């Protein structure tokens, strides 16, 4: 493969990733929290933080806004009074169902340009790529090279 084709593929993947991130709610914001609590029920703030891989400060800020909007309810954990249990309020549950429906509609629209065989092929190719990327993340030499390049870009 030539360098131009590799660059074109990388740019197109980045464009797709950015679109999905910003248009389909990939951010670690209220939508992800709503969907997580809707799917799993109640959980502690720490469990939610670990699951979403978000800092405690950022999560606390989002949760406060959600509580102010009556989307979630907080209560002391029955098991450990130091922990705070989070649950969706009835209003939060209604909003979560709307978010879920909007999410499914968005995905349908995004992939409507492919027929079934193309979707299957894309799923397979992206599976291969994500597995390879996981292997690269575990490769110290690749990580060093990526960090060095990142440092050059910041100067």
Q: Report the domain count for the chain.
A: 2
**Whose CA is closest to 34, among 129, 82, 103, 122?**
103
pLDDT digits (tens, 9 = 90+) for 132-143: 999 998 888 887
Q: Are residues 74 and 148 in the same domain?
A: no
pLDDT digits (tens, 9 = 90+) for 50-69: 999 889 999 999 999 999 99
Domain containing 146 equals 115-155
Does pLDDT of 155 surpass 60? no
Taking residue 113's Cβ as centre, other Cβ atoms within 10 Å add up to 8
pLDDT digits (tens, 9 = 90+) for 8-60: 999 999 999 998 888 876 555 898 899 999 999 989 999 999 999 889 999 99
Q: Are residues 108 and 134 in the same domain?
A: no
- Taking phi over 0 as left and psi of -120 to 50 as alpha, with beta for the rest, 6 belongs to alpha
Q: Are residues 122 and 49 in the same domain?
A: no
CATH number assigned to the domain comprising residue 44: 1.10.10.10
**Whose CA is closest to 38, among 102, 107, 90, 76?**
90
CA atoms within 13 A on the CB side of 37: 31
What local confidence, expressed as pLDDT, does residue 149 receive?
A: 67
Q: Are residues 91 and 141 in the same domain?
A: no
Q: Are residues 11 and 47 in the same domain?
A: yes
What local confidence, expressed as pLDDT, does residue 20 receive?
A: 87
Q: What is the DSSP letter of 111?
A: T
**Whose CA is closest to 87, among 65, 61, 66?**
66
């Amino acid at each position: 493969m030539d360098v131009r084709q590799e660059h074109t593929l990388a740019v197109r993947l980045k464009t797709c990733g950015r679109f999905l991130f910003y248009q389909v709610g990939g951010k670690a914001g209220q939508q992800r929290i709503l969907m997580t609590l809707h799917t799993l029920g109640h959980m502690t703030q720490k469990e939610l933080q670990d699951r979403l891989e978000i800092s405690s400060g950022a999560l606390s800020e989002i949760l406060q806004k959600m509580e102010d909007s009556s989307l979630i309810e907080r209560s002391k954990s029955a098991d450990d009074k130091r922990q705070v249990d989070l649950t969706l309020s009835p209003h939060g549950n209604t909003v979560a169902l709307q978010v879920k429906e909007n999410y499914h509609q968005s995905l349908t629209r995004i992939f409507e340009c492919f027929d079934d065989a193309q979707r299957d092929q894309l799923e397979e190719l992206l599976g291969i790529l994500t597995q390879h990327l996981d292997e690269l993340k575990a490769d110290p030499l690749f990580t060093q090279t990526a960090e060095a390049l990142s440092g050059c870009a910041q100067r």
